[in-house]
Amino acid sequence: MEKSFGSLRQLDHHGRSPIRIYCNDESDDYPAHWHMQYEIIMPVREGYSASVDGRLYELLPGDALIIPSGVVHEIFAPEEGRRYIFMVDQDVVYGTEGLPGIQHLFYPCVHLRGEIPLCQEGAEYLWQAIREDSRKEALTDASVMAWIRLFLIHVGRGLFAAGSESRSEHRHQMNENFLDIYAYITQHCNEKMTLEDVAARSGYSKYHFSRMFKEYTGMSFYDFYLRQRMLLCRQLLSELSLPITEVASRAGFGSLATFNRVFKQYEGVTPTQYRRLRQQRLEDARPDAE
């Protein structure tokens, strides 16, 4: 289902860089599609519109929209305008300590409005990444990655803080506890995990933990657990040398049939189809690709 339309295909022709930045001034609309990367859209002249998970977002200059990997979206462009588009490989997120545990906060997308401090401060990280990318000097990729990671960390902190209405010490301690729980689930999502076990680890009763978890994440414990396991599956499938059976085993599935069924139910494509899409993107990114 992943497609590149019109000029956006240029995003796949920046070699093997984990972050690709494109200054887009085209008036093309892009039908429903999804990416294996995070996509960040930042208009700088005129607006831009995106339909994400069935909801329309109107972006103004100064806004930013973060669309995580695997989320279906459409894009609608004005006749004239300019915006920067960042494509960020999942490895950048997975390789940043703490981010995998709060990825759920970014789904289905994050609309940062230009008038709020969270966006104003975060936009400076994006501009620094753009400046670094334009220099094409030694360690440019590393510098760009550092600025994008700072941006995602900055936004993640803001989203997590927004979920807390109280600044009391007790509430702060609960925030820290839940961050530890998120990290634990993410690190062990390939293992059998029950609500009772994780609630006991948190120090709360099963029912209190379940209610608080839903309040903090917007989803049930089991939905969060499955989402983290699917994110792990995507990461493993991106390692093209790993056999599908090995991916299923590392992700904690007892059989290939169960892995295929659950993955397709959640992602809409089979693991093999997902991997083919990934491989096709890499082939398109080769310098000699048409």
Residue 57 domain-assigned? yes
Same domain, 228 and 102: no
**What is the pLDDT, as a whole number, of residue 16?**
64
- Supply the mean pLDDT for the chain: 83
Mean pLDDT of 9-29: 74
Q: What is the pLDDT of residue 10?
A: 45
Q: How far apart are CA 70 and CA 107, in angstroms?
A: 10
CATH code for position 209: 1.10.10.60
Residue 1 lies in a domain: no
pLDDT band per the 50, 70, 90 thresholds, residue 164: low
240-266 tens-digit pLDDT? 888 999 999 999 998 999 999 999 988
Whether 20 and 155 share a structural domain: yes
Would you say residue 158 lies in a domain? yes
- Given 147, 162, 177, the domain boundary residue is 162
Q: Kindly state the average pLDDT of the residues 58-68.
A: 94
pLDDT at 76 over 60: yes
- The Cα 244–Cα 233 span in angstroms is 10
288 domain-assigned: no
Average pLDDT, integer, range 193-200: 91
Domain assignment present for residue 124? The answer is: yes
* pLDDT of the residue at 128: 96
Task: Give just the sign of the alpha carbon dihedral 95, 96, 101, 107.
Answer: negative
- pLDDT for 288 equals 52
Q: Name the pLDDT band for 190 (thresholds 50, 70, 90).
A: very high
Instruction: Specify whether 118 is located in the same domain as 59.
Output: yes
Q: What would the mean pLDDT of 121-126 be, rounded to a whole number? A: 93
Phi, psi of 141 (to 5 degrees): -60, -40
- Sheet containing 19-24: give its strands across: 19-24, 82-88, 38-45, 64-67, 110-112
Regarding whether 180 and 103 lie in a shared domain, the answer is no
**Is the domain of 41 the same as that of 117?**
yes
pLDDT for 8 equals 45
Residue 59 has pLDDT above 80, yes or no: yes
Question: Tokens 């966006």 map to which residue?
Answer: 119
Task: Say yes or no: 183 and 132 in one domain.
Answer: no
The residue among 108, 141, 103, 147 whose CA lies nearest residue 235 is 103
Same domain membership, residue 176 and residue 154: no
143 is a domain residue: yes
Q: Which of 105, 138, 162 is the last residue of a domain?
A: 162
Predicted local confidence at residue 282, as pLDDT = 60
Whether 148 and 76 share a structural domain: yes
Can you give the pLDDT at residue 3?
38
Domain with 252, as residue range(s), is 169-283
Domain limit, last residue, from 162, 184, 212:
162
Residue 133: which CATH number?
Answer: 2.60.120.280
Our count of domains for the chain comes to 2
Question: Are residues 79 and 14 located together in one domain of the fold?
Answer: yes
Give yes or no: residues 103 and 183 share one domain.
no
What band does 6 get if pLDDT is binned at 50, 70 and 90?
A: very low
Instruction: Identify whether residues 174 and 158 lie together within a single domain.
Output: no
Output the pLDDT for position 163. 63
pLDDT number for residue 2: 39
Domain assignment present for residue 290? The answer is: no
% the chain with pLDDT above 70: 86
Minimum mean pLDDT range among 1-15, 85-99, 131-145, 149-163: 1-15
Asked whether residue 39 carries a pLDDT value surpassing 60, the answer given is: yes
- Same domain for 120 and 256, yes or no, is no
289 found inside a domain: no
